[in-house]
Structure 1
């Protein structure tokens, strides 16, 4: 993770150090705003957008919540889409197949505000409509996979006809 310093230079810190500091601040009862890296939460949250987090303290999670968790040795910011055998199931909005299964002890925080990097105002993502929209997007994954395959087939057919 890179960090801008006062002298205009950028320094790089490890994800472990970065998230250790995030966890420390959360444990002090502070809210923490982090930058999202990658496109696994597209189309709703994009690379470079930021989200505001509150510490997870074991409370009941609403389906569709956006969660920061540790999955094995990596940190993930994905949507809570279900629970099975005391495991929370997380999936990125942009992922068509992958899911993570984490224990309650692995959940670090819940995001409640989204700040788009480009165009748009801050948006409360912990409201029912935002969670329902995300869950709906998750539940049409099969259709999205089929459409993606059709687009690939269609684009390769168009290239071979030319």
Structure 2
């Protein structure tokens, strides 16, 4: 949020329920990514995401969602498994950690990613290919993430 030309940081506990309310009213919301759990493809404070409304049918494998997990935390992660109304979520930058939620606790889905002012729709060919392969590469994700972190460290120094 910008206030008189200055950025204001709003705590997630305040911001994200308001985001969920706007989405439930049919709006889309654009946010700057905070955190590293969706690395390497969504980078903290660099990339932006567009979140929007969804139907039950939209909550399929590889869809990235904003949801409250069974521990009450709000997470922004990818659906890696669906069993009826139960969803398993995992951040792209996570090797083993998953969260559980259900369809009723999903607040919105990612419609697009914005990197360097270029928008990548989630239903577009580029994002779909990335999503498919990233999930398939889960067994070797540890090494891929290690390479990414080393490259990132070198380029940010």
If the TM-score is normalised by the length of the shorter chain, which range does it land in?
0.7 to 0.9
Equivalent position SS for 1:25:
helix
TM-score (norm 1): 0.76
Return 5+ residue gaps in structure 2 as ranges.
148-157
Query: Residue in 2 aligned with 1:35?
Result: 32
1:44 aligns with 2:25: no
Following superposition, the deviation at residue 85 of structure 1 comes to 5.6
- Contact 1:58–1:104 at 8 Å: present in 2 too? yes
Query: Residue in 2 aligned with 1:92?
Result: 91
- Distance change in 2, residues 1:123/1:73 (3 Å): same
CA distance in 2, matches of 1:115, 1:129: 13
TM-score (norm 2): 0.78
Q: CA RMSD in A?
A: 2.5
User: Which structure's CA Rg is the greater one?
Assistant: 1
Following superposition, the deviation at residue 42 of structure 1 comes to 1.2
1:18 aligns with 2:15: yes
Return 5+ residue gaps in structure 1 as ranges.
152-162
Query: Residue in 2 aligned with 1:54?
Result: 52
- Distance change in 2, residues 1:13/1:121 (3 Å): closer
- Contact 1:97–1:141 at 8 Å: present in 2 too? no
- Distance change in 2, residues 1:104/1:115 (3 Å): same
